[in-house]
Amino acid sequence: MRTELPETVNKALSMLHQAGFEAYVVGGCVRDMLMDHSPKDYDLATSAHPQAIQRVFAGFAMTLEGLKHGTVRVILNHEPLEITTFRVDGGYSDGRHPDAVRFTPSLEEDLLRRDFTINAMAYAPETGLIDPFGGRADIAARLIRCVGDPEKRFSEDALRILRGLRFAAVLDFEIHPDTLQAMERLSPKLNLISAERVEAELMKLLTGPAASRSLILGRAALCARMPCLDDAGYEERARALARLPRDADLRLAMLLGGLDEQALSGALTGLKSSRATAGRVQRARAALQKIPVPLENTALRLLIRDVGFAAAADALNLRLAQTGEAAFARALEELQGLRASGACLSLKDMRLDGGALIRSGMAPGPEMGRILNTLLDRVIQGELKNQPEDLLAAALEMARHKIE
């Protein structure tokens, strides 16, 4: 277990201890420390009430947006630290947020309200690890298990269903049978969760090394929130997804692969996907329909001409993951070679443009566009060199035949 804490965290713990309060780092950072990972951030929990926290850190900048839930964000050495009073959550009438909180002097009561055992641990240098619910053993067993009654945990906050699936995918953990059964039973509650929250968890899940297994285990939950996914090809797509790079957008394109164009657009809108993600998924799906079979001679170059390097690469990756055929792996290698070599595969790569044709006396208009595109096709097919003099001579020859 990593026991070293950042200087700012040690300072905050020390200041709270010197003022007579208990204080610990809690949650995901303790899990990461036990797994010898570097925590992205550190959350602190303390027996000090919010007003006392403010007194202890009176000389530092702080923000109080989370005050009603007992959280004070303190800025130490230009770094924000969230410090929260030990608390017990009240009811969750919206299935997402506690209606009210009650402060408690008990660290164990505070840990009891958390989602999974691996996130319900605390640590301080003076006390060492505090683990009342077996989180350390579950990490060793590579297991996601709810703290206490899983139905209660998911009834309080249905987003925990997706969080559990995401942890299983990212950490490559199994899910305890009782926890998984509760996920399935409580899955309709995911409809209480905003699209933005669902999308954020799903995209993190998709990048995990065990994303395929997690998607299959969590099929009931995911399809309760996104019924459009639930078809005969779901598990096949989920398994194929593991053969893709760990790229969330590309894997989302695979997951949504059973949808027609209209349903795909609706699913992306329903997820509130970013414009960049939605555009990439739709371009990849469109390019997938244009992959020529067989991929011989100039077929790959013409595909790149039609859809661009990025969409062609995405489409070939999707097809390779679906079929495993070596032809698509070779095509991806060739595509990278073409990209690296600066091959002429679009009008912007061609060493002749409309301005040069106008200077040669050709009138602008649709006929000029047709000539330029014909020149590009001839370059791609190896009939013409991408040299200004060769291209101009061929263009003038085409224009002359048109006049005749």
Q: The tokens of 372 are what?
A: 């330029």
Please report the pLDDT score of residue 96 as a whole number.
Answer: 65
pLDDT digits (tens, 9 = 90+) for 377-400: 999 988 999 999 999 999 999 988
- DSSP-derived secondary structure for 182-203: HHHHHGGGGGGS-HHHHHHHHH
Phi, psi of 232 (to 5 degrees): -65, -20
pLDDT band per the 50, 70, 90 thresholds, residue 192: very high
Whether residue 184 is predicted with pLDDT greater than 90 in this model: the reply is: yes
Helix, strand, or coil (residue 338):
helix
Whether residue 404 is predicted with pLDDT greater than 60 in this model: the reply is: no
Whether residue 233 is predicted with pLDDT greater than 50 in this model: the reply is: yes
pLDDT digits (tens, 9 = 90+) for 13-67: 999 999 999 999 999 999 999 999 999 999 999 999 999 999 999 989 999 999 9
Buried (b) or exposed (e) across 282-313, using 16+ Cβ within 10 A?
Answer: bbbbebbeebeeebeeeebbbbbbebebebbb
pLDDT band per the 50, 70, 90 thresholds, residue 2: confident
CA max distance for the chain? 98
Residue 126's region, left for phi above 0, alpha for psi from -120 to 50, else beta, is alpha
Mean pLDDT of 283-292: 95
CA-CA distances (angstroms) from residue 377 to 7, 310, 347?
A: 62, 20, 10
pTM given for the model: 0.88
* Mean model confidence pLDDT for the chain: 94
Whether residue 95 is predicted with pLDDT greater than 80 in this model: the reply is: no
Calpha distance 292→298 (Å, rounded): 10
93 compared with 168, residue with greater pLDDT: 168
pLDDT digits (tens, 9 = 90+) for 257-283: 999 999 999 999 999 999 999 999 999
- Please give the sequence-ordered ranges of beta strands (E in DSSP) within 34-112, or none if there are none: 43-46, 62-63, 71-76, 79-85, 87-89, 101-103
Does the N-terminal peptide bond of residue 294 adopt cis geometry, omega within 30 degrees of 0?
A: yes
